[in-house]
């Protein structure tokens, strides 16, 4: 300790005559990293004249690629499953509510069937994967050069490996509550898929009224189970504590549940629920005020004589561009009621226009305000609008192109979008379109049980 005190006294004397620099031992310079805080790193630098100097941040192609690919992947992946994004839920809710009267037994064989988790996945998983794969190729080539061989050359980065290993060790082994939660999640997905995998089949038809069995009911059922099942080791689930020396038995009293109401209040995305509810309110107001009818009439006159694929392409492009300057949920809530009315006027299946437009609203890659993932990426401070525009215009073109290709070739197989169904006529026995100048005849299914042999 005496030697240390003498060294400190010498340093104090030297500081009175000259500025003390960092202490060096040989060729190695030591720095007190503990004295550096994250606040000092992020704060502005004060110049010699007292002015604030913004620190220069060097942004590399790797920075841009990593920050851009995450929100892009989140938006593209959300289109693949029914619960991937609130836009999918909004389309299903609006479509099922608008034509709810045709789900009853009075209108049998009228061409109506609801959007379910199973048929949504059958239709959208493949285009979602193709959009993701082609967008990955574009981002790799645009940011790192068009040499595919170099894309797969991985150089070992010890720093990244250490960070990953450290974070993985922090997770520790899976616990009982995690096992139970994983099991419940798998059960939810299985019940979603098996509820109505095809029209007229599935476990929902075991019950007297299959329409009462919805995806939401499955979620509520498993949610109630999570309020009951224990999160801690318990004698009831002894398989998870078989390696414990102090075995826990059922005599130790009740265990904590996996889910509590306090967690539900704090962790539930109430903002998403408000967005979806607001979308329904906008759609209802648009229909009741006549705004949807007014705009649909104008669009029908604009596309008079157009092929159905051209109308679909125009609508999906309009939706994908509009969502860049506003929230994708708001864009979907605006376009779906309008396109539903337009489909009735031009005598095409409502999903032929509404489904591509809904998925196109998720293809929002070019501006930060388009979707929350983009805004989070821009919050890093390393991205500029030009980065997302140059990187995102091609994935948007790829996505919109695949959307229109799939609705033409796979829409008839999954949703029967190649015919104008009788439920869309509004009158199950009516044989005329709302606008007969566009299509002289509209084929449809036998309309009602009163006259099953009748067709348009």
Q: Read off the pLDDT band of 54 (50, 70, 90).
A: low
Percent of the chain with pLDDT over 90: 15
Residues present in the chain in total: 456
Domain coordinates in residue numbering, the chain: 61-151+270-425
What pLDDT score does 286 carry? Answer: 80
pLDDT at 86 > cutoff 60: yes
Q: Once rounded to an integer, what is the mean pLDDT over residues 333-355? A: 87
What pLDDT score does 431 carry? Answer: 37
Q: Give the ranges where 303-448 is alpha helix by DSSP (H).
A: 308-322, 328-346, 350-362, 372-378, 385-409, 411-414
What pLDDT score does 196 carry? Answer: 81
Q: Once rounded to an integer, what is the mean pLDDT over residues 251-268? A: 80
Element (H, E) at 85: none
Q: Give the ranges where 19-58 is alpha helix by DSSP (H).
A: 38-42
What pLDDT score does 162 carry? Answer: 87
Average pLDDT, the chain: 75
What pLDDT score does 376 carry? Answer: 84
pLDDT at 151 > cutoff 90: no
pLDDT at 361 > cutoff 80: yes
Q: Give the ranges where 227-307 is alpha helix by DSSP (H).
A: 261-267, 270-289, 291-302
- Residue 68 tokens read as 């851009």
Q: Which of 31-40, 203-212, 334-343 has the lowest mean pLDDT?
A: 31-40
For residues 120 and 198, what is the distance between their CA atoms, to the nearest angstrom? 11
């Amino acid at each position: 300790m005496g030697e240390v005190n003498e060294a400190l006294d010498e340093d104090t004397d030297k500081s009175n005559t000259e500025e003390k620099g960092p202490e060096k031992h040989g060729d190695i310079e030591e720095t007190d990293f503990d004295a550096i805080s994250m606040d000092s790193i992020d704060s502005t630098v004060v110049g010699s004249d007292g002015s604030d100097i913004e620190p220069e941040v060097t942004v590399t192609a790797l920075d841009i690629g990593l920050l851009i690919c995450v929100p892009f992947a989140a938006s593209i992946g959300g289109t693949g499953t029914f619960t991937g994004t609130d836009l999918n839920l909004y389309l299903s809710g609006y479509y099922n509510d608008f034509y709810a009267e045709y789900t009853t037994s009075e209108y049998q064989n009228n061409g109506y069937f609801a959007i379910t988790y199973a048929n949504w996945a059958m239709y959208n998983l493949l285009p979602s994967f193709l959009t993701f794969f082609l967008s990955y190729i574009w981002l790799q080539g645009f940011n790192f050069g068009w040499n595919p061989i170099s894309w797969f050359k991985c150089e070992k980065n010890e720093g990244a490996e250490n960070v990953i290993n450290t974070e993985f060790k922090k997770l520790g082994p899976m616990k009982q509550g995690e096992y139970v939660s994983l099991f419940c999640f798998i059960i939810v997905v299985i019940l979603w898929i098996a509820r109505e995998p095809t029209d007229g089949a599935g476990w929902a038809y075991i019950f007297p009224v299959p329409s009462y069995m919805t995806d939401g009911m499955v979620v509520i059922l498993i949610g109630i189970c999570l309020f009951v099942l224990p999160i801690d080791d318990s004698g009831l689930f002894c398989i998870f504590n078989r390696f414990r020396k102090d075995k826990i038995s059922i005599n130790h009293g009740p265990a904590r549940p996996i889910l509590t109401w306090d967690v539900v209040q704090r962790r539930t995305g109430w903002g998403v629920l408000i967005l979806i509810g607001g979308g329904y309110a906008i759609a209802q107001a648009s229909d009741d005020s006549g705004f949807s009818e007014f705009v649909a009439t104008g669009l029908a006159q604009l596309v008079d004589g157009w092929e159905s694929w051209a109308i679909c392409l125009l609508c999906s492009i309009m939706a994908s561009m509009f969502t860049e300057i506003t929230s994708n949920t708001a864009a979907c809530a605006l376009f779906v009621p309008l396109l539903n009315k337009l489909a009735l006027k031009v005598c095409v299946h409502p999903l032929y226009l509404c489904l591509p437009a809904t998925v196109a609203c998720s293809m929002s890659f070019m501006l930060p305000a388009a979707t929350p993932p983009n805004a989070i990426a821009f919050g890093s401070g390393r991205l500029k609008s030009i980065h997302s525009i140059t990187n995102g215009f091609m994935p948007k073109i790829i996505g919109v192109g695949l959307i229109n290709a799939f609705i033409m070739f796979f829409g008839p197989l999954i949703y029967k979008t190649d015919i104008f169904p009788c439920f869309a006529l509004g009158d199950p026995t009516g044989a005329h379109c709302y606008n007969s100048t566009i299509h002289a005849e509209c084929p449809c299914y036998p309309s009602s049980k009163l006259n099953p042999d009748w067709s348009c």
